[in-house]
Copies of this chain bind each other. A is one copy, B any other.
């Protein structure tokens, strides 16, 4: 009997390791099985296809970041404009940090994200829902004036794409990127203001 039972979680852990080591192009199900000391047939017992396995890894990665941001949404001691500003900053900083700390791993997840656009769409829907909550709070407090908070939240998310969408990651290394973010952020805040 192996030291521990084979669980989806252990498989996902091993898959992340393999992806980190070999990259998205070379990581195989056989590699994952080898890392776990089992046959690849056993992996297929828990994940029906390689695509499903990669999707689960992607989901896991995205959920970790959404969780962090939800904490900012939950803070109640800040006025909405400040909270929105901080939320956007946190999203940008988190992305930039990940991209800067380990560009290779970031690129790996970039590939997974392109593969699993469905999972990403759901993730984005959650982020926009958080944004909407902050904007709604601001409307209630008379700090923001918008017709439709859902539309506004979507617009804010879209307008900051340059600072969170991985396809712009290369530009995040520019020394002026911070100023550019502030300029967009301020302009948007101003646009929402009552």
Residues of A at under 8 Å CB distance from B?
A: 151-152, 154-156, 158-162, 165, 167-168, 179-180, 183-184, 186-192
Q: Which residues of B contact A154 (CB under 8 A)?
A: 180, 183
- Copies assembled: 2
Select from chain B the residue with minimum beta-carbon distance to A192.
Answer: B187
Mostly helix, strand, loop or mixed at chain A's interface?
Answer: helix
Other than the known A151-B179, A152-B183, A154-B183, what 20 A-B pairs have Cβ atoms closer than 8 Å? A151-B183, A155-B180, A155-B186, A156-B187, A158-B162, A158-B184, A159-B160, A159-B162, A159-B184, A159-B187, A159-B188, A161-B161, A161-B162, A167-B167, A167-B168, A187-B191, A187-B192, A188-B188, A190-B192, A191-B191
Nearest Cβ on chain B to A33's Cβ, whole angstroms = 34
Return the contact of A155 from the options B151, B158, B167, B183 (Cβ within 8 A). B183
Q: How far is the CA of A155 from the CA of B155 in the complex (A)?
A: 15
Q: Report the separation of the CA atoms of residues A61 and B155 in the bound assembly, to the nearest whole angstrom.
A: 30
Across the interface, which residues of B come within 8 angstroms of A160, CB to CB?
Answer: 159
Complex CA distance for A152 and B180, rounded to whole angstroms: 10
CB-based contact A180/B168 at 8 Å: no
* A183 contacts across to B, CB distance below 8 A: 151-152, 154-155, 158
The listed residue (B165, B168, B180, B190) touching A191 by CB distance below 8 A is B190
Some 30 contacts from A to B, beta carbons below 8 A apart, are: A151-B179, A151-B183, A152-B183, A152-B187, A154-B183, A155-B180, A155-B183, A155-B186, A158-B162, A158-B180, A158-B183, A159-B159, A159-B160, A159-B188, A161-B161, A161-B162, A162-B162, A162-B165, A165-B167, A165-B168, A167-B168, A187-B192, A188-B188, A188-B191, A189-B191, A190-B190, A190-B191, A190-B192, A191-B191, A191-B192
Closest to A159 in B: B159
